[in-house]
Amino acid sequence: MQAQESSEGMTRLQGFEEFVGTIMQDWKVPGLAISIIKDGEIIFSNGFGKRDVDGGLEVTPQTLFPIASCSKAFTTTAMAMLADEGKLDWDTPVKHYLPSFKLYDLFATEHMTPRDLVTHRSGLPRHDLMWYNSSATRQELFERLQYLEPSKDLRAVLQYQNLMYMVAGYLVGQLSGQSWEEFVQQRIFDRLKMNSSLFSTDAAQETSDFSFPYKEEKDEVKKIPFYEGQWSIAPAGGIISNVADLSKWILLQLNKGKHEGAQVVSENQVVQMHMPQMVAPVTFPFAEVPISSYGLGWFVEPYRGHMMAEHGGNIDGFSSLVTLLPDQNIGVVVLTNLNQNPVPLILTYNICDRLLGLDEVPWSDRLKKFWTDIKEAQEKGKEKTEADRVPNTRPSHSLDAYTGEYEHPGYGIFAVELEGDRLLGTFNSMTFPLKHYHYDTFELFLEKFDVHMKVSFFTNVRGDIDTLSAPLEETVKDIVFHRLPPKDMTGKHFLERFVGEYEVMGLTMTIALKGEHSLMVSLPMQPEFELVAYKGNTFHVKGLSGYSIEFKLDETGKVTGAIVEQPFGVATATRKAE
């Protein structure tokens, strides 16, 4: 009976390869690979087009592609394995397992569970520019979470999120005593004989069969660089695989956690992963997919009356989709090498229509209109931003006054430098011109995201450029970066010459070195305060507005005293003889 059903499936796929060729041409996809599983068998596995256009190299079922967010289900499966072993409970607070876990919101910090982490209901929006292309380690990203503002309350609404999956992967590592990568390699890749799957595009490029990434710009498809950032976020999207290996992954899911007769992950856990956990917005407003929800690492929704679990993935130059129809014992994986394209969805839905014996919906035509509407809206947005510009204005300072490093504790460093007669910004190793827009607002263009963004500079009460504000996460307030002091003011050699005792208003003021990069000031019967380097020989008192100390030097460079500024007046301090 099973062989007969598989044969019927092949019959229903007649003409499919020609259909793939047409869709690839319509959407300008250089190359893709597809595998289809039905009733426990791989009934179709093939590559189409080029994995390297310049080199004329063909895509095969073994061609490696980054699968991006299709990786999320591997993280939830790893968590499910730990749940089977009693090491993890989906509904015990994360803080029970990771005492240092800390978010911006105290309630979320105390009550966030592993289930919350992987169902996109943390209350945090994406904050993707915090991690994208960053050199920060997984541990460093984990520690920075406390500085990211949420936009909703915990469990209020689904907001798709990568950082919480990073936390989930970090949790897997802490509970298992090995890294997330090591766990997935040993417990999933090795067990399923997914021998080609990797965690690094660098490693993929050392193999004999991998795809380059491509992007369409102004109706032309061109090769682009691979994603170059640290894969600290890998539990959310760092796996590189092929349709041959992913067919084995799909079979594990369809077989309810069994592989070669052995239960790799319990059936109960697999059912939970494929079960709706959180209501999700519908991506495309079509009657065939009337509602959507999110399970544990899978979107769960009805497709034309049939329950479907699926997850897509997008990363620089690649789009992918892995799909399950558990009740019909159908699985599909489509991997493409074109940035942000709907072809995986078009082909997957067409495969489902064929195998389910349904009339084929013209998905390509529908989505072409949808895509056109999105592009038109983007163009109108560009027109509006130009109309909003106030003409004939100029910056309040000379351009060199804007240069320096600005820091946000969550997002890191935003550097500004002067190149000729223009400003250049650098953030997470992405460099871009800062073009004057109006007043102290400049416009930048993030090419990788095709996004124009306005950055504003603000002055302090002394008239110095002090902060930089950028809408790096559109659903919360602008991210504010505070200007860092010049690096030469934070070195031990520079600071230690100010150390000593000073007489001021009959009291002894003590300046001491804290570590190797900052100074402390203290007065009798008062707490110690840290001094924050400002400029020259002037330091502000941290946490006290209007307080500063300017050290005075003689002609030989020796420190002789200081001017102590307070809100109610200015006092002169004389350095005591050593």
List domains and CATH numbers for the chain. Answer: 2-376 (3.40.710.10), 399-484 (2.40.128.50), 488-575 (2.40.128.50)
Strands 330-336 and 65-66: unpaired
183 torsion bin: left (phi>0), alpha (psi -120 to 50), beta (else): alpha
Six token digits for residue 100? 């240092």
HSE toward the beta carbon, residue 368, CA cutoff 13 A: 10
Q: What are the backbone dihedrals phi and psi of residue 453, each rounded to the nearest 5 degrees, phi first?
A: -140, 145
Tokens of 376: 């038109």
Amino acid at 235: P
Structure tokens at 531: 């001094």
Per-residue pLDDT of the chain (578 residues; tens, 9 = 90+): 334 445 666 788 999 999 999 999 999 999 999 999 999 999 999 999 999 999 999 999 999 999 999 999 999 999 999 999 999 999 999 999 999 999 999 999 999 999 999 999 999 999 999 999 999 999 999 999 999 999 999 999 999 999 999 999 999 999 999 999 999 999 999 999 999 999 999 999 999 999 999 999 888 999 999 998 778 999 999 999 999 999 999 999 999 999 999 999 999 999 999 999 999 998 888 999 999 999 999 999 999 999 999 999 999 999 999 999 999 999 999 999 999 999 999 999 999 999 999 999 999 999 998 888 777 777 776 666 777 899 999 999 999 999 999 999 999 999 999 999 999 999 999 999 999 999 999 999 988 888 899 999 999 888 999 999 999 999 999 999 999 988 889 999 999 999 999 999 999 999 999 998 899 999 998 899 999 999 899 999 998 888 999 999 999 999 999 999 998 899 999 999 87
Phi, psi of 547 (to 5 degrees): -105, 130
Spell out the residues 6+ positions from residue 454 whose beta carbon is closer than 8 angstroms to its own: 385, 437, 441, 442, 443, 444, 470, 471
Cβ-based neighbour number of residue 133 at 10 Å = 15
The encoded tokens of residue 274 equal: 């494929």
Which amino acid would we find at residue 562? A
The DSSP code sequence of 98-167 is -TT---SSHHHHHH--HHHHTTT-SS----HHHHTT----HHHHHHHGGGSPPSS-TTSS----SHHHHH
Whole-model pTM: value is 0.92
The answer to whether 270 touches 253, Cβ cutoff 8 Å, is yes
C-alpha separations of 197 from 238, 244, 318 in Å = 11, 10, 16
CA distance 149 to 128: 13
316 phi, psi to nearest 5 deg: -35, 105
Q: Cα-flanking dihedrals φ and ψ of residue 269, to 5°?
A: -70, -40
Q: What is d(CA 438, CA 89) in angstroms, rounded to the nearest whole number?
A: 53
Candidates 343, 47, 323; CA nearest to 216 is: 343
Angle at 71 between CA 68 and CA 74, to 5 degrees: 175
The length of the chain in residues reads 578
First-last CA distance in the chain? 97
CA distance 139 to 159: 23
Residue identified by tokens 């416009």 is: 443
Q: How far apart are CA 117 and CA 353, in angstroms?
A: 34
Backbone angles phi, psi at 85, to 5 degrees: -85, 0
- 3-class DSSP state for residue 364? helix
- Which pair of tokens denotes residue 406? 């600005």
Token pair recorded at residue 190: 């090795």
Q: How many CB atoms lie within 10 A of CB 152?
A: 17
